[in-house]
Amino acid sequence: MKKVMSNSLKGILMMMVALSCSLVSAQPQGGGQGGGQQGPPPVPSTKEIKTMVSSLAQQLSMTEEQEAKVLVLYKNHFEEIKSEMSSNSRPSRTEMENKKAAFETKVKAVLTEEQQTKYAAYLKEQLSKRPSRR
């Protein structure tokens, strides 16, 4: 009887250890305080920039000339951001927001009024797709 009880206790103990291990390994990994990605998003590649601008051009019904100008603006903007991010002194959030606003103003200058309205809606939609930051 003692041996049966001892085997039962061992079995229960083994199950509890296994359950504890599986619960610990099933916990999501946090990315620091807020979870997820910390810091700014990665700078897109040239191919990704072309895809973004092509999609934007379709949504805004841009002419080929407009699309070419906007592509240059996007490439220049992201090249500037890339060099800022790789320098030793990382720019502040305010500086980055100012650069973004200046960039968006340059893009709007290429667009018609109707396209500017669509572009504003596009930017708002893109902002809502981004994960919220704390």
Interatomic CA distance for residues 110 and 118, integer angstroms: 13
pTM of the model: 0.67
Query: Which string of DSSP letters, residue by residue, matches 42-58?
Result: PPPPHHHHHHHHHHHHH
pLDDT of residue 57: 96
**What is the C-alpha to C-alpha distance for residues 27 and 5, in angstroms, rounded to an integer?**
33
* Tokens linked to 106: 């340059």
Distance (Å, whole) CA 96 – CA 40:
10
d(CA 57, CA 39): 29
Output the tens digit of pLDDT for each of the chain's 134 residues. Answer: 556 556 677 777 677 766 666 655 555 555 554 555 566 778 899 999 999 999 999 999 999 999 999 999 999 999 988 888 777 777 788 988 999 999 999 999 999 999 999 999 999 988 887 766 54
pLDDT of residue 8: 72
